[in-house]
Every structure is written in structure tokens, then in C-alpha cells.
Amino acid sequence: MDTIINNLPLPEELTVAIANQVWQTPEDPADWNTLFTHGEIDQPTLYSLQGMQGETTWLKTAGAAYHGNTNEGFVPGDIDPNRTIVIGDLGPDRLIALDFRESVSRPTVVALTSTEHSCWVIVANDIASFMKAIRLKE
């Protein structure tokens, strides 16, 4: 059975990782360095299903700064809160999410790493690549 948040299905790799208790915040902060610069990482956290639901619901009502913008040269720049599931963060105001705009079966992983510019950037082509990059064991 699919796990649905924000009317979107969690990718199977993520559902399996949660069920197998693999979806845990890496203890070594260096595990995040393949995707993010040191300055972007504060207190990284991967959310539980309940946390994903709560943060995704919150994002829908959050200010425009959290939805990003497309005029700063970042890709994708913005997100559609109705086509997004928030899966974690790098610290306050630095969200990590699944972006379902291009594909429902293989969403990209994006991060709001710069609140100064208020832009989202692609950090992994899919959840499997993201989990491998932060060294989650299967």
C-alpha cells in the first residue's frame, strides 16, 4: 500500500527505508558534505512520516519566501507546495523536499539552502541518489 502525503505517493525507496528504520539522520555531519557546503549545514534532520506530514502542511501556508522564486538563476528556484513533500531540513529555514512537478514516480530532491535568495536547488535526481549520497545503509 502506498504512503500518501499531500495527495502524493512517497517513492517506494523512501517507504522501504522508513519501514526498515534506515531513514535516520546520519550521525556524522560529514555524510552531508557530498550534497551541501559546510555553511549550508546547521543541524540536519530527516523527518519521520508524521514530521513530513506536518512540515508539508505548514509549507502550504508559509510565506512566499519559502516557496522561492525563479529569477535568481537557481534551478528550479521555486516549488509548488501542492506538488511537494518536505522530508527534512539542514537547520532552521533550510528545508529539503521532494519535488513532484516533473515526475510523480521519480521526484527530484530539492533544498531551500539560501534564505537570502529564497531559492530552491536540485540536490539529487531522486530519493535513491539522495540516500546514497548521505550514506544511508539499506
pLDDT of residue 115: 55
pLDDT of residue 38: 72
pTM of the model as a whole? 0.93
pLDDT of residue 6: 95
Nearest-CA neighbor of 119 among 44, 80, 66? 66
Q: What is the pLDDT along the chain (138 residues), one digit of tens a residue?
A: 689 999 999 999 999 999 999 999 998 888 998 898 777 888 899 999 999 999 999 999 998 888 887 766 777 888 999 999 999 999 888 999 999 999 999 999 999 966 566 789 999 999 999 999 999 976
